[in-house]
């Protein structure tokens, strides 16, 4: 999997073209037909970090505007909205074909002391003994149309182990609460900024699917059109993404062809590392015959 790791780390090393203008590669992420949303968020954050010297991101808020084209690079324009004594604010616009595909605001904060509390980590099965993505893929690969198998089996950089994986071909109605463990061993030794970018990339995984679980629906059967509409993330503690993290997600509401989803990311010791929220399009479609 080292090749997939190297591809992702390379994707997040955005190239500076001008003082506040950057370029990121479009291909190499999770999906072949459009750029994975987490990739655009992570690259936008990486671009913003190149304009901030002495503080780490504590929150970001992004809107997905158009699908990204994986065949061409993405241009990131960073607006230095504010450099304050305690907080720094940046606005990032991602552009392809002369049009915005994402805009994002992110805020950076100096390290300060203050009162502390957090909700405890949920009681969920640990990653040891759970099937990884490769094992789950091997179980269903013969049910995947042959023309899609090569892409389906392509190595991905993030190691994922779901606590209660769904059967995508014969889904049943399930509780909206969804736990998975994830990590990337190649994150070891990365800077705090790169750790944030990697976690932001991974935070878009499986989150929108939480809103489909109560309805027994998956994208495989062509029953739903899915697209992330926005994504918010708050960083609470330093990440060490080479180690296992528990991503616990739920969907308290869906309606109007949209689903709302929340997530909390804990390290294995129970520290709350980050929180997420996302609304996405889950438009019903007539099932394919």
Q: Which among 92, 90, 74 is positioned nearest to 82, based on CA atoms?
A: 90
Contact between 279 and 229 under an 8 Å Cβ cutoff? The reply is yes
Identified catalytic residue from 159, 204, 250, 267 = 204
What are the φ and ψ backbone dihedral angles of 215, each rounded to 5 degrees? -105, 0
- In angstroms, the CA 273 to CA 275 distance is 7
Identified catalytic residue from 228, 240, 251, 254 = 228
Number of CB atoms found within 10 A of residue 271's CB: 15
Q: How many residues does the chain have?
A: 289
What secondary structure does DSSP assign to 146-168, as a single string?
Answer: HHHHHHHTS--SSEEEESS---S
Paired tokens of 263: 């997530």
Supply the DSSP symbol for 286.
P
Paired tokens of 192: 């705090």
Identified catalytic residue from 39, 251, 275, 278 = 278
278 included as an active-site residue: yes
What are the φ and ψ backbone dihedral angles of 150, each rounded to 5 degrees? -60, -45
228 included as an active-site residue: yes
- In angstroms, the CA 131 to CA 240 distance is 22
Active site residues: 204, 228, 278
């Amino acid at each position: 999997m080292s090749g997939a790791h190297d591809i992702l780390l390379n994707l997040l090393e955005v190239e500076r073209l001008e003082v506040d203008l950057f370029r990121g590669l479009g291909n190499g992420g999770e999906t072949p037909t459009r750029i994975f949303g987490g990739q655009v968020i992570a690259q936008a954050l990486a671009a913003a970090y190149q304009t901030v010297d002495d503080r780490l991101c504590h929150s970001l808020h992004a809107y997905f505007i158009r699908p990204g084209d994986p065949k061409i690079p993405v241009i990131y324009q960073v607006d230095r909205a504010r450099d304050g004594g305690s907080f720094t604010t940046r606005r990032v616009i991602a552009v392809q074909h002369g049009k915005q595909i994402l805009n994002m605001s992110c805020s950076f904060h100096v390290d300060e002391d203050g009162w502390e509390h957090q909700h405890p980590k949920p009681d969920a099965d640990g990653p040891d003994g759970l099937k990884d993505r490769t094992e789950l893929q091997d179980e269903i690969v013969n049910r995947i149309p042959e023309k899609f198998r090569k892409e389906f089996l392509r190595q991905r950089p993030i190691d994922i182990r779901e606590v209660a994986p769904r059967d995508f071909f014969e889904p049943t109605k399930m509780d909206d609460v969804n736990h998975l463990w994830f990590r990337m061993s190649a994150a070891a030794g990365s800077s705090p900024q790169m750790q944030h970018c990697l976690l932001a990339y991974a935070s878009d995984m499986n989150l929108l699917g939480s809103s489909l679980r109560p309805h027994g629906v998956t994208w495989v059967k062509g029953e739903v059109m899915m697209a992330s509409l926005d994504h918010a993330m708050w960083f609470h503690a330093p990440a060490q993404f080479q180690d296992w993290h528990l991503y616990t997600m739920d969907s308290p509401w869906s309606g109007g062809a949209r689903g709302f989803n929340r997530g909390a990311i804990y390290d294995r010791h129970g520290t709350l590392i980050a929180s997420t929220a996302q609304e996405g399009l889950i438009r019903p479609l007539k099932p394919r015959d």
